[in-house]
Structure 1
Amino acid sequence: MTMGLTESQDAFAAALLHPDGPLPHGITTARGAADSSRFAVYRNNVYVGLTTALGQRFPVTKRLVGSDFFAGMARAYAADHKPASPLIMHYGDEFPDFIAAFLPAASLPYLPDVARIEAAWTRAYHAADRLPLDVAQLAAAPSERLGDMTLVPHPSARLVRSDFPVGSIWSAHQGETVATVADWQAETVLVVRAAMHVEVHVLPARDAAFAGSLLEGVTLGEAAQTAFAAAPDFDFGSALIGLIGLGAFSVFEPVEGELP
Protein backbone atom coordinates (compact mmCIF):
# COMPACT_ATOMS: atom_id res chain seq x y z
CA MET A 1 0.00 0.00 0.00
CA THR A 2 1.42 3.37 -1.03
CA MET A 3 1.50 6.04 1.67
CA GLY A 4 0.29 9.55 0.97
CA LEU A 5 2.49 12.59 1.44
CA THR A 6 1.05 13.47 4.86
CA GLU A 7 1.39 9.91 6.14
CA SER A 8 4.96 9.73 4.85
CA GLN A 9 5.87 13.00 6.54
CA ASP A 10 4.31 11.90 9.83
CA ALA A 11 6.14 8.58 9.74
CA PHE A 12 9.42 10.31 8.92
CA ALA A 13 9.01 12.83 11.79
CA ALA A 14 8.06 10.08 14.25
CA ALA A 15 11.10 8.00 13.28
CA LEU A 16 13.40 10.97 13.80
CA LEU A 17 12.42 11.35 17.43
CA HIS A 18 12.17 7.67 18.36
CA PRO A 19 15.56 5.98 18.12
CA ASP A 20 14.13 2.51 18.72
CA GLY A 21 11.61 2.80 15.91
CA PRO A 22 11.96 1.21 12.47
CA LEU A 23 13.43 2.96 9.47
CA PRO A 24 10.68 4.92 7.68
CA HIS A 25 9.24 3.28 4.60
CA GLY A 26 10.86 4.44 1.37
CA ILE A 27 14.07 5.81 2.94
CA THR A 28 16.91 4.30 0.93
CA THR A 29 20.38 5.12 -0.30
CA ALA A 30 21.11 6.05 -3.92
CA ARG A 31 21.58 2.33 -4.56
CA GLY A 32 18.04 1.66 -3.33
CA ALA A 33 19.09 -0.12 -0.14
CA ALA A 34 17.77 0.70 3.32
CA ASP A 35 20.54 2.02 5.58
CA SER A 36 19.54 2.47 9.21
CA SER A 37 23.01 3.63 10.26
CA ARG A 38 22.89 6.61 7.91
CA PHE A 39 19.43 7.52 9.11
CA ALA A 40 20.73 7.27 12.70
CA VAL A 41 23.27 9.99 11.90
CA TYR A 42 20.49 12.23 10.59
CA ARG A 43 18.33 11.42 13.62
CA ASN A 44 21.20 12.30 15.96
CA ASN A 45 21.69 15.64 14.20
CA VAL A 46 18.04 16.48 14.82
CA TYR A 47 18.40 15.63 18.50
CA VAL A 48 21.55 17.72 18.74
CA GLY A 49 19.77 20.67 17.15
CA LEU A 50 16.78 20.44 19.49
CA THR A 51 18.80 19.92 22.66
CA THR A 52 21.13 22.78 21.69
CA ALA A 53 18.12 25.05 21.20
CA LEU A 54 16.87 24.11 24.68
CA GLY A 55 20.29 24.77 26.18
CA GLN A 56 20.35 28.22 24.62
CA ARG A 57 16.85 29.06 25.83
CA PHE A 58 17.35 27.67 29.36
CA PRO A 59 20.98 28.50 30.24
CA VAL A 60 20.44 28.87 34.00
CA THR A 61 18.48 25.62 34.16
CA LYS A 62 21.36 23.95 32.35
CA ARG A 63 23.91 25.51 34.67
CA LEU A 64 22.02 24.34 37.75
CA VAL A 65 22.00 20.67 36.74
CA GLY A 66 25.16 20.47 34.64
CA SER A 67 25.64 19.83 30.94
CA ASP A 68 25.37 16.03 31.04
CA PHE A 69 22.19 15.94 33.11
CA PHE A 70 20.64 18.68 31.02
CA ALA A 71 21.49 16.87 27.79
CA GLY A 72 19.73 13.74 29.03
CA MET A 73 16.70 15.70 30.23
CA ALA A 74 16.51 17.68 26.99
CA ARG A 75 16.79 14.52 24.91
CA ALA A 76 13.97 12.91 26.89
CA TYR A 77 11.85 16.00 26.25
CA ALA A 78 12.66 16.05 22.54
CA ALA A 79 11.62 12.41 22.19
CA ASP A 80 7.98 13.31 22.84
CA HIS A 81 7.85 16.99 21.89
CA LYS A 82 8.29 17.83 18.25
CA PRO A 83 8.63 21.52 17.35
CA ALA A 84 5.19 23.02 16.77
CA SER A 85 6.62 25.96 14.83
CA PRO A 86 9.41 26.42 12.30
CA LEU A 87 10.65 29.21 14.59
CA ILE A 88 13.05 27.34 16.85
CA MET A 89 13.01 30.21 19.37
CA HIS A 90 9.57 28.97 20.47
CA TYR A 91 10.74 25.42 21.08
CA GLY A 92 10.52 24.43 24.73
CA ASP A 93 7.38 26.27 25.82
CA GLU A 94 6.30 23.09 27.68
CA PHE A 95 9.80 22.31 28.97
CA PRO A 96 9.18 23.71 32.50
CA ASP A 97 6.12 21.48 32.93
CA PHE A 98 8.14 18.53 31.63
CA ILE A 99 10.85 19.23 34.22
CA ALA A 100 8.21 19.30 36.97
CA ALA A 101 7.26 15.72 36.07
CA PHE A 102 10.83 14.53 35.37
CA LEU A 103 11.62 12.25 38.32
CA PRO A 104 15.44 12.50 38.12
CA ALA A 105 15.08 16.27 38.74
CA ALA A 106 12.77 15.87 41.75
CA SER A 107 15.56 16.75 44.19
CA LEU A 108 15.57 20.29 42.75
CA PRO A 109 11.95 21.38 43.31
CA TYR A 110 12.72 24.97 42.30
CA LEU A 111 14.06 23.96 38.88
CA PRO A 112 10.70 24.08 36.98
CA ASP A 113 10.05 27.64 38.14
CA VAL A 114 13.55 28.76 37.18
CA ALA A 115 12.81 27.31 33.75
CA ARG A 116 9.48 29.21 33.72
CA ILE A 117 11.39 32.45 34.21
CA GLU A 118 13.63 31.60 31.27
CA ALA A 119 10.66 30.66 29.09
CA ALA A 120 8.98 33.94 30.07
CA TRP A 121 12.19 35.81 29.25
CA THR A 122 12.16 34.49 25.68
CA ARG A 123 8.47 35.27 25.22
CA ALA A 124 9.03 38.78 26.56
CA TYR A 125 11.97 39.31 24.22
CA HIS A 126 9.84 38.43 21.18
CA ALA A 127 6.62 40.09 22.37
CA ALA A 128 4.97 42.92 20.46
CA ASP A 129 6.20 46.44 21.06
CA ARG A 130 3.80 48.62 23.02
CA LEU A 131 4.22 51.88 24.90
CA PRO A 132 4.04 51.31 28.66
CA LEU A 133 1.46 53.08 30.77
CA ASP A 134 2.81 55.90 32.92
CA VAL A 135 1.51 57.36 36.16
CA ALA A 136 0.45 60.64 34.53
CA GLN A 137 -1.92 58.79 32.21
CA LEU A 138 -3.48 56.94 35.12
CA ALA A 139 -3.77 60.15 37.14
CA ALA A 140 -5.81 61.70 34.32
CA ALA A 141 -8.63 59.22 34.91
CA PRO A 142 -11.50 60.32 37.20
CA SER A 143 -10.72 59.21 40.74
CA GLU A 144 -14.28 58.03 41.35
CA ARG A 145 -13.91 55.50 38.53
CA LEU A 146 -10.49 54.21 39.59
CA GLY A 147 -11.77 51.13 41.42
CA ASP A 148 -13.76 49.98 38.37
CA MET A 149 -10.86 50.27 35.96
CA THR A 150 -8.85 47.41 34.53
CA LEU A 151 -5.33 47.86 33.22
CA VAL A 152 -4.03 46.41 29.97
CA PRO A 153 -1.06 44.09 30.61
CA HIS A 154 1.98 44.87 28.51
CA PRO A 155 2.37 42.20 25.78
CA SER A 156 5.72 41.20 27.25
CA ALA A 157 4.59 40.96 30.90
CA ARG A 158 4.74 37.53 32.50
CA LEU A 159 4.41 36.63 36.17
CA VAL A 160 6.05 33.59 37.78
CA ARG A 161 4.92 32.79 41.32
CA SER A 162 6.99 30.25 43.20
CA ASP A 163 7.43 28.74 46.66
CA PHE A 164 11.16 29.22 46.13
CA PRO A 165 13.49 32.22 45.58
CA VAL A 166 13.64 31.57 41.86
CA GLY A 167 14.15 35.20 40.86
CA SER A 168 17.14 35.41 43.17
CA ILE A 169 18.46 32.07 41.90
CA TRP A 170 18.14 33.28 38.30
CA SER A 171 19.90 36.56 39.14
CA ALA A 172 22.67 34.75 41.02
CA HIS A 173 23.58 32.86 37.83
CA GLN A 174 23.91 35.85 35.51
CA GLY A 175 27.65 36.30 36.08
CA GLU A 176 30.62 33.99 35.74
CA THR A 177 30.67 33.52 39.51
CA VAL A 178 27.47 32.27 41.10
CA ALA A 179 26.31 34.54 43.90
CA THR A 180 24.84 33.25 47.15
CA VAL A 181 21.08 33.36 47.65
CA ALA A 182 20.75 34.60 51.23
CA ASP A 183 16.99 34.47 51.82
CA TRP A 184 15.37 31.15 50.95
CA GLN A 185 11.74 32.20 50.64
CA ALA A 186 8.90 32.32 48.14
CA GLU A 187 9.17 34.90 45.36
CA THR A 188 6.91 36.37 42.72
CA VAL A 189 8.80 37.43 39.62
CA LEU A 190 7.74 39.88 36.92
CA VAL A 191 9.40 39.44 33.53
CA VAL A 192 8.80 42.38 31.21
CA ARG A 193 10.33 44.25 28.26
CA ALA A 194 8.86 47.71 28.53
CA ALA A 195 11.83 49.29 26.73
CA MET A 196 14.67 47.71 24.80
CA HIS A 197 15.76 45.10 27.31
CA VAL A 198 14.01 42.26 29.11
CA GLU A 199 14.01 42.83 32.86
CA VAL A 200 13.44 40.29 35.65
CA HIS A 201 12.04 41.82 38.84
CA VAL A 202 11.37 40.17 42.19
CA LEU A 203 8.21 41.84 43.50
CA PRO A 204 7.58 42.62 47.18
CA ALA A 205 5.74 39.67 48.72
CA ARG A 206 2.83 41.85 49.78
CA ASP A 207 2.29 42.95 46.14
CA ALA A 208 2.16 39.45 44.65
CA ALA A 209 -1.60 38.90 44.84
CA PHE A 210 -2.26 42.42 43.51
CA ALA A 211 0.03 41.98 40.53
CA GLY A 212 -1.41 38.57 39.71
CA SER A 213 -4.97 39.87 39.80
CA LEU A 214 -4.26 42.90 37.62
CA LEU A 215 -2.42 40.86 34.99
CA GLU A 216 -5.43 38.52 34.88
CA GLY A 217 -7.70 41.47 34.03
CA VAL A 218 -9.32 42.04 37.42
CA THR A 219 -10.45 45.60 38.27
CA LEU A 220 -8.25 47.74 40.49
CA GLY A 221 -10.82 47.62 43.28
CA GLU A 222 -11.15 43.85 43.22
CA ALA A 223 -7.39 43.38 42.96
CA ALA A 224 -6.88 45.61 45.99
CA GLN A 225 -9.40 43.61 48.03
CA THR A 226 -7.61 40.38 47.13
CA ALA A 227 -4.26 41.92 48.03
CA PHE A 228 -5.43 43.22 51.43
CA ALA A 229 -6.87 39.79 52.25
CA ALA A 230 -3.54 38.14 51.41
CA ALA A 231 -1.33 40.77 53.07
CA PRO A 232 -2.77 43.20 55.63
CA ASP A 233 0.27 45.48 55.19
CA PHE A 234 -0.46 45.91 51.48
CA ASP A 235 -0.08 49.52 50.27
CA PHE A 236 -2.31 50.19 47.25
CA GLY A 237 -0.58 53.36 46.08
CA SER A 238 2.99 52.17 46.27
CA ALA A 239 2.13 48.81 44.69
CA LEU A 240 0.28 50.38 41.77
CA ILE A 241 2.92 53.02 41.11
CA GLY A 242 5.64 50.39 41.44
CA LEU A 243 4.08 48.08 38.86
CA ILE A 244 3.46 50.95 36.45
CA GLY A 245 7.06 52.05 36.89
CA LEU A 246 8.27 48.58 35.94
CA GLY A 247 6.27 48.75 32.70
CA ALA A 248 3.81 45.99 33.56
CA PHE A 249 0.93 47.68 31.72
CA SER A 250 0.31 49.20 28.31
CA VAL A 251 -1.21 52.54 27.47
CA PHE A 252 -4.98 52.49 27.51
CA GLU A 253 -6.78 51.39 24.40
CA PRO A 254 -10.06 53.26 24.96
CA VAL A 255 -13.39 51.86 23.82
CA GLU A 256 -15.93 54.44 22.72
CA GLY A 257 -17.94 55.59 25.72
CA GLU A 258 -15.45 54.23 28.24
CA LEU A 259 -12.54 55.70 30.13
CA PRO A 260 -9.39 56.60 28.23
Structure 2
Amino acid sequence: MSDQDTFSLALLDPQLPCPPGLCSANGADPASRFAVYRNNVQGSLINALADSYPVVHALVGDEFFRAMAAAHVRQCPPTSPILKDYGRDFDVFIRGFAPAASVPYLADVARLERLRIDAYHAADAASLSPERIGQHLANPDALGSLRVGLHPSIAVLESPFAMLSIWLAHHGEGELEQIDPDQGEVVLVLRSQWQVELFRIDSGSRAFIQRLLEGLTLEAAMLHAHDISPAFDPARTLGLLIRHGAIVQLQAAS
Protein backbone atom coordinates (compact mmCIF):
# COMPACT_ATOMS: atom_id res chain seq x y z
CA MET A 1 0.00 0.00 0.00
CA SER A 2 1.35 3.43 -0.93
CA ASP A 3 1.90 6.22 1.58
CA GLN A 4 -0.96 8.12 -0.05
CA ASP A 5 -3.34 5.18 0.38
CA THR A 6 -2.30 4.81 4.02
CA PHE A 7 -2.90 8.51 4.61
CA SER A 8 -6.30 8.45 2.85
CA LEU A 9 -7.54 5.45 4.82
CA ALA A 10 -6.45 6.93 8.14
CA LEU A 11 -8.04 10.25 7.24
CA LEU A 12 -11.50 8.69 6.99
CA ASP A 13 -11.29 6.07 9.76
CA PRO A 14 -10.77 7.33 13.33
CA GLN A 15 -9.92 3.80 14.43
CA LEU A 16 -6.70 3.86 12.41
CA PRO A 17 -3.51 5.38 13.83
CA CYS A 18 -1.80 8.49 12.55
CA PRO A 19 0.17 7.63 9.40
CA PRO A 20 3.91 7.27 9.96
CA GLY A 21 6.35 9.86 8.72
CA LEU A 22 4.32 12.99 9.51
CA CYS A 23 6.03 15.92 11.16
CA SER A 24 5.05 19.40 12.33
CA ALA A 25 6.95 22.58 11.52
CA ASN A 26 6.37 24.01 15.01
CA GLY A 27 7.18 20.80 16.85
CA ALA A 28 3.57 19.96 17.77
CA ASP A 29 2.57 16.33 18.13
CA PRO A 30 1.82 15.07 14.56
CA ALA A 31 -0.78 12.61 15.84
CA SER A 32 -2.67 15.41 17.58
CA ARG A 33 -2.52 17.68 14.53
CA PHE A 34 -3.62 14.84 12.26
CA ALA A 35 -6.57 14.07 14.54
CA VAL A 36 -7.75 17.68 14.24
CA TYR A 37 -7.41 17.59 10.47
CA ARG A 38 -9.23 14.25 10.28
CA ASN A 39 -12.11 15.59 12.37
CA ASN A 40 -12.39 18.63 10.09
CA VAL A 41 -12.42 16.53 6.92
CA GLN A 42 -14.97 14.06 8.26
CA GLY A 43 -17.10 16.85 9.67
CA SER A 44 -17.18 18.68 6.33
CA LEU A 45 -18.29 15.53 4.51
CA ILE A 46 -20.96 14.75 7.10
CA ASN A 47 -22.21 18.35 6.90
CA ALA A 48 -22.29 18.11 3.11
CA LEU A 49 -24.53 15.04 3.37
CA ALA A 50 -26.79 16.83 5.85
CA ASP A 51 -27.10 19.77 3.44
CA SER A 52 -27.88 17.49 0.49
CA TYR A 53 -30.38 15.31 2.35
CA PRO A 54 -32.29 17.59 4.74
CA VAL A 55 -35.47 15.48 4.83
CA VAL A 56 -33.53 12.28 5.50
CA HIS A 57 -31.77 14.22 8.27
CA ALA A 58 -35.09 15.35 9.73
CA LEU A 59 -36.66 11.89 9.54
CA VAL A 60 -34.01 10.17 11.66
CA GLY A 61 -32.73 13.03 13.82
CA ASP A 62 -29.32 14.62 14.05
CA GLU A 63 -27.57 11.99 16.18
CA PHE A 64 -28.65 9.03 14.04
CA PHE A 65 -28.00 10.89 10.80
CA ARG A 66 -24.48 11.92 11.75
CA ALA A 67 -23.64 8.37 12.84
CA MET A 68 -25.01 7.00 9.57
CA ALA A 69 -23.21 9.67 7.56
CA ALA A 70 -19.94 8.91 9.36
CA ALA A 71 -20.30 5.25 8.42
CA HIS A 72 -20.91 6.30 4.83
CA VAL A 73 -17.80 8.50 4.86
CA ARG A 74 -15.67 5.57 5.99
CA GLN A 75 -17.16 3.19 3.44
CA CYS A 76 -17.54 5.59 0.50
CA PRO A 77 -14.78 8.21 0.32
CA PRO A 78 -15.15 11.09 -2.15
CA THR A 79 -14.29 10.40 -5.77
CA SER A 80 -14.73 13.99 -6.98
CA PRO A 81 -13.37 17.33 -5.77
CA ILE A 82 -16.88 18.80 -6.23
CA LEU A 83 -18.57 18.67 -2.84
CA LYS A 84 -22.12 18.68 -4.22
CA ASP A 85 -21.38 15.36 -5.91
CA TYR A 86 -20.50 13.65 -2.65
CA GLY A 87 -23.09 11.14 -1.48
CA ARG A 88 -24.52 10.54 -4.95
CA ASP A 89 -25.25 6.93 -3.96
CA PHE A 90 -26.25 7.67 -0.39
CA ASP A 91 -29.60 5.99 -1.02
CA VAL A 92 -27.81 2.76 -1.96
CA PHE A 93 -25.78 2.94 1.25
CA ILE A 94 -28.92 3.58 3.33
CA ARG A 95 -30.62 0.56 1.78
CA GLY A 96 -27.83 -1.65 3.12
CA PHE A 97 -27.42 0.14 6.46
CA ALA A 98 -29.05 -2.23 8.95
CA PRO A 99 -29.86 0.36 11.66
CA ALA A 100 -32.00 2.26 9.12
CA ALA A 101 -34.17 -0.77 8.31
CA SER A 102 -36.88 0.48 10.67
CA VAL A 103 -37.47 3.40 8.29
CA PRO A 104 -38.03 1.48 5.04
CA TYR A 105 -38.84 4.56 2.95
CA LEU A 106 -35.65 6.40 3.95
CA ALA A 107 -33.58 5.28 0.94
CA ASP A 108 -36.24 6.36 -1.55
CA VAL A 109 -36.58 9.77 0.10
CA ALA A 110 -32.80 10.08 -0.21
CA ARG A 111 -32.99 9.15 -3.88
CA LEU A 112 -35.64 11.81 -4.45
CA GLU A 113 -33.48 14.43 -2.77
CA ARG A 114 -30.51 13.47 -4.95
CA LEU A 115 -32.62 13.72 -8.12
CA ARG A 116 -33.60 17.24 -7.08
CA ILE A 117 -29.93 18.18 -6.74
CA ASP A 118 -29.16 16.65 -10.13
CA ALA A 119 -32.08 18.52 -11.73
CA TYR A 120 -30.95 21.83 -10.25
CA HIS A 121 -27.43 21.44 -11.64
CA ALA A 122 -28.39 19.83 -14.96
CA ALA A 123 -27.40 21.50 -18.22
CA ASP A 124 -29.83 23.96 -19.71
CA ALA A 125 -31.62 23.40 -23.01
CA ALA A 126 -34.05 25.50 -25.00
CA SER A 127 -37.61 24.18 -25.00
CA LEU A 128 -39.60 23.73 -28.18
CA SER A 129 -42.67 25.91 -28.46
CA PRO A 130 -46.09 24.27 -28.10
CA GLU A 131 -46.85 25.36 -31.67
CA ARG A 132 -43.85 23.57 -33.11
CA ILE A 133 -44.58 20.45 -31.07
CA GLY A 134 -48.17 20.53 -32.25
CA GLN A 135 -47.05 20.58 -35.88
CA HIS A 136 -45.06 17.38 -35.37
CA LEU A 137 -47.81 15.60 -33.43
CA ALA A 138 -50.47 16.56 -35.96
CA ASN A 139 -49.23 13.87 -38.34
CA PRO A 140 -50.19 10.46 -36.88
CA ASP A 141 -48.22 8.63 -39.57
CA ALA A 142 -44.99 10.19 -38.30
CA LEU A 143 -45.37 9.10 -34.68
CA GLY A 144 -43.83 5.70 -35.33
CA SER A 145 -40.49 7.27 -36.23
CA LEU A 146 -40.55 10.37 -34.02
CA ARG A 147 -38.01 10.63 -31.21
CA VAL A 148 -38.65 13.06 -28.37
CA GLY A 149 -35.67 14.71 -26.69
CA LEU A 150 -36.38 15.68 -23.08
CA HIS A 151 -34.77 18.33 -20.91
CA PRO A 152 -31.53 17.15 -19.22
CA SER A 153 -33.02 17.78 -15.78
CA ILE A 154 -35.78 15.20 -16.15
CA ALA A 155 -35.88 12.03 -14.08
CA VAL A 156 -38.61 9.68 -12.89
CA LEU A 157 -38.74 7.64 -9.70
CA GLU A 158 -41.20 4.99 -8.54
CA SER A 159 -41.38 3.75 -4.98
CA PRO A 160 -43.58 1.37 -2.98
CA PHE A 161 -43.60 4.12 -0.35
CA ALA A 162 -45.13 7.60 -0.11
CA MET A 163 -41.76 9.30 -0.64
CA LEU A 164 -43.17 12.43 -2.30
CA SER A 165 -45.86 13.00 0.31
CA ILE A 166 -43.25 12.56 3.04
CA TRP A 167 -40.92 15.02 1.33
CA LEU A 168 -43.73 17.54 0.84
CA ALA A 169 -44.83 17.25 4.47
CA HIS A 170 -41.35 18.35 5.53
CA HIS A 171 -41.76 21.42 3.32
CA GLY A 172 -45.08 22.55 4.75
CA GLU A 173 -47.41 20.70 2.38
CA GLY A 174 -49.48 18.19 4.32
CA GLU A 175 -49.22 16.56 7.73
CA LEU A 176 -46.74 13.75 8.21
CA GLU A 177 -49.03 12.01 10.71
CA GLN A 178 -51.77 11.72 8.09
CA ILE A 179 -49.59 9.98 5.47
CA ASP A 180 -49.75 6.25 4.87
CA PRO A 181 -46.06 5.53 4.21
CA ASP A 182 -46.91 2.27 2.46
CA GLN A 183 -48.91 4.04 -0.25
CA GLY A 184 -46.64 3.83 -3.29
CA GLU A 185 -45.96 6.92 -5.39
CA VAL A 186 -44.37 7.83 -8.71
CA VAL A 187 -42.60 11.17 -9.20
CA LEU A 188 -41.47 13.23 -12.16
CA VAL A 189 -38.57 15.57 -11.39
CA LEU A 190 -37.76 18.47 -13.72
CA ARG A 191 -36.42 22.00 -13.73
CA SER A 192 -38.75 24.57 -15.19
CA GLN A 193 -38.07 28.31 -15.23
CA TRP A 194 -34.99 27.68 -13.05
CA GLN A 195 -37.09 26.00 -10.38
CA VAL A 196 -36.95 22.28 -9.62
CA GLU A 197 -40.48 20.90 -9.56
CA LEU A 198 -41.93 17.57 -8.48
CA PHE A 199 -45.06 16.06 -10.01
CA ARG A 200 -47.00 13.02 -8.90
CA ILE A 201 -47.60 10.80 -11.95
CA ASP A 202 -48.77 7.24 -12.58
CA SER A 203 -46.82 4.12 -13.50
CA GLY A 204 -47.77 4.38 -17.15
CA SER A 205 -46.45 7.92 -17.39
CA ARG A 206 -43.23 6.87 -15.65
CA ALA A 207 -42.74 4.04 -18.16
CA PHE A 208 -43.49 6.39 -21.06
CA ILE A 209 -41.04 9.07 -19.92
CA GLN A 210 -38.36 6.53 -19.09
CA ARG A 211 -38.57 5.01 -22.56
CA LEU A 212 -38.33 8.45 -24.15
CA LEU A 213 -35.21 9.08 -22.08
CA GLU A 214 -33.81 5.79 -23.38
CA GLY A 215 -34.33 6.92 -26.98
CA LEU A 216 -37.39 4.92 -28.01
CA THR A 217 -39.72 6.47 -30.55
CA LEU A 218 -42.87 8.16 -29.37
CA GLU A 219 -45.05 5.32 -30.61
CA ALA A 220 -42.89 2.61 -29.01
CA ALA A 221 -42.86 4.49 -25.71
CA MET A 222 -46.65 4.81 -25.80
CA LEU A 223 -47.11 1.10 -26.49
CA HIS A 224 -44.80 0.19 -23.62
CA ALA A 225 -46.66 2.53 -21.27
CA HIS A 226 -49.99 0.95 -22.23
CA ASP A 227 -48.53 -2.47 -21.46
CA ILE A 228 -47.59 -1.23 -17.99
CA SER A 229 -50.87 0.57 -17.42
CA PRO A 230 -53.83 0.15 -19.82
CA ALA A 231 -55.27 3.39 -18.41
CA PHE A 232 -52.23 5.41 -19.51
CA ASP A 233 -53.23 8.72 -21.10
CA PRO A 234 -50.50 9.93 -23.49
CA ALA A 235 -52.22 13.26 -24.12
CA ARG A 236 -52.21 14.09 -20.43
CA THR A 237 -48.55 13.16 -19.97
CA LEU A 238 -47.42 14.98 -23.11
CA GLY A 239 -49.45 17.99 -22.00
CA LEU A 240 -47.61 18.04 -18.68
CA LEU A 241 -44.24 17.87 -20.44
CA ILE A 242 -45.17 20.59 -22.94
CA ARG A 243 -46.56 22.98 -20.30
CA HIS A 244 -43.33 22.83 -18.33
CA GLY A 245 -40.96 23.15 -21.26
CA ALA A 246 -39.65 19.61 -20.93
CA ILE A 247 -39.49 18.81 -24.66
CA VAL A 248 -36.34 20.17 -26.28
CA GLN A 249 -36.05 18.16 -29.48
CA LEU A 250 -38.21 16.28 -31.99
CA GLN A 251 -36.65 14.34 -34.83
CA ALA A 252 -37.39 11.39 -37.07
CA ALA A 253 -35.58 8.20 -36.12
CA SER A 254 -32.93 7.17 -38.62
Kept in 2, the 8 Å contact 1:134–1:245? The answer is: no
Q: Which residue of 2 aligns with 1:80?
A: 75
What residue number does 2:17 align with? 22
Asked if 2 retains the 8 angstrom alpha-carbon contact of 1:150 and 1:214, the reply is yes
* 8 A Cα contact 1:11 1:24, kept in partner: yes
Choose between structure 1 and 2: higher strand proportion: 2
Which residue is equivalent to 2:146?
A: 149
Q: Which digits, 9 at most, give the CA deviation of each residue in 1:11-61, with x for residues without a partner?
A: 322210011223223212236675323211211111110000000000001
Preserved contact between residue 125 and residue 197 of structure 1 (Cα < 8 Å): yes
1:212 equivalent in structure 2 = 210
Matched-pair contact (CA < 8 Å) for 1:58–1:119: yes
Q: 2:57 maps to what in 1?
A: 62
Structure 1 gaps of 5+ residues are none
The size of the alignment, in residue pairs, is: 250
Partner of residue 39, structure 1? 34
1:127 aligns with 2:144: no
Q: Is the 8 A contact 2:24 2:30 kept in 1?
A: yes
Partner of 2:187: 189
Greater Cα shift, 191-200 or 62-71:
191-200
Closer, same or farther in 2 for the Cα pair 1:182/1:81, shift >3 Å? closer
* Matching residue's letter, 2:113: E
1:171 paired residue among 168, 172, 190: 168
Q: 8 Å contact 1:135–1:241 — kept in the other structure? A: no
Cα displacement (A) at 1:239: 2.0
Identity of aligned residues (%): 42
TM-score (norm 2): 0.89
Structure 2's unaligned 5+ residue stretches are none
Residues in 2 aligned to 1:185 and 1:210: alpha-carbon distance in whole angstroms: 22
Q: CA RMSD in A?
A: 2.3
**Does 2:7 correspond to 1:12?**
yes
Normalised by the length of structure 1, the TM-score is: 0.87
Q: Partners in 2 of 1:157 and 1:241 — Cα distance?
A: 15
* Superposed displacement of residue 246, structure 1: 3.3
1:216 counterpart letter in structure 2: E
**What amino acid maps onto 1:169 in structure 2?**
I
For the 8 Å contact 1:210–1:227, the answer to whether it is kept is: yes
State the partner residue of 1:238.
Answer: 236
Higher deviation after alignment, 218-227 or 59-68:
218-227
Give the direction of change, closer, same or farther, for the CA distance of 1:41–1:55 in structure 2 (3 Å limit).
same
1-side partners of 2:13 and 2:33: how far apart? 15
Match of 1:100 among 91, 95, 112: 95
- Is the 8 Å Cα contact of residues 211 and 243 (structure 1) preserved in structure 2? no
Following the alignment from structure 2 to structure 1, what is the Cα–Cα distance between the partners of residues 28 and 206? 62
